[in-house]
Chains A and B, each alone.
Chain A
């Protein structure tokens, strides 16, 4: 009971792990490219949660600065990914992941 009521770093890490797993399941099983990109955002958020939790644990700010860099990367990734999605939709009139097989041997 004490472990439930006293919130430690491990609680935040477990929450981050759960979010990470949800993102992994989304990436592996969904067909819609937009939702796959959103699942990648879930994964990046889980990583950010871990970084900020460790930053709180050790008292420094390096984790928070790193979380800000990860958010920057997420913005760049979303912009380029959605640009690719638009180009793909223009060519094939679909947003399904498993129909992207032009490079498949």
Chain B
């Protein structure tokens, strides 16, 4: 199926993502930041769909918007104190931040304008429909070892989180 109105949806979703990202780093209240981040993540899931990656889009919604953000909201409620709303929100390094962002942005733009001819003109056509199956075949085939390491990493993260957050072990 050929996608319809790709430029329109691309720019719409990009605008949603960037506005959400700006809101994340400027809002005073951490809960507002978290809600803006959820909007950004959902728009990004839609962009994954435009890139023919339905499985990654689903994982993005279920794991990021559904799992990680709920964790964030729980912790915000645990540590939320009204005092932080009245304090200074930005540290004294905003100049460093602006300079770093400008340099990095200039670097990335230079790389993209110079490296454009390295990319093929047209994207390779991909098979639709069996995306999930092919990802599973790769995860259990060439990426078997990395997959097992990821499970070990998650185990370590669980233990680490419990050890950190528990009052006495």
Residues B24 and A56 in contact, CB atoms below 8 Å apart: no
Q: Is the interface of A mostly helix, strand, loop or mixed?
A: helix
Contacts between the two chains (Cβ within 8 Å), count = 227
Interface size class of A (residues with CB under 8 A): 35 or more
Name A14-57 residues within 8 Å CB distance of B. 14-15, 17-26, 28-32, 34-35, 37-39, 41-42, 45, 48-49, 52-53, 55-57
Q: Which residues of B contact A (CB under 8 A)?
A: 6-7, 10, 14, 17-18, 21-22, 24-25, 27, 30, 33-34, 37, 40-41, 44, 47-48, 51-53, 55-56, 59-60, 63-64, 67-68, 71-72, 75-76, 78-79, 81, 84, 87-91, 93-94, 96-98, 100-101, 104-105, 108-109, 112, 116, 119-120, 123-126, 131, 134-135, 138-139, 143, 146, 150, 153-154, 156-158, 160-165, 167
Q: Which residues of A contact B (CB under 8 A)?
A: 4-15, 17-26, 28-32, 34-35, 37-39, 41-42, 45, 48-49, 52-53, 55-59, 61-62, 64-65, 67-69, 71-80, 82-87, 89-90, 93-98
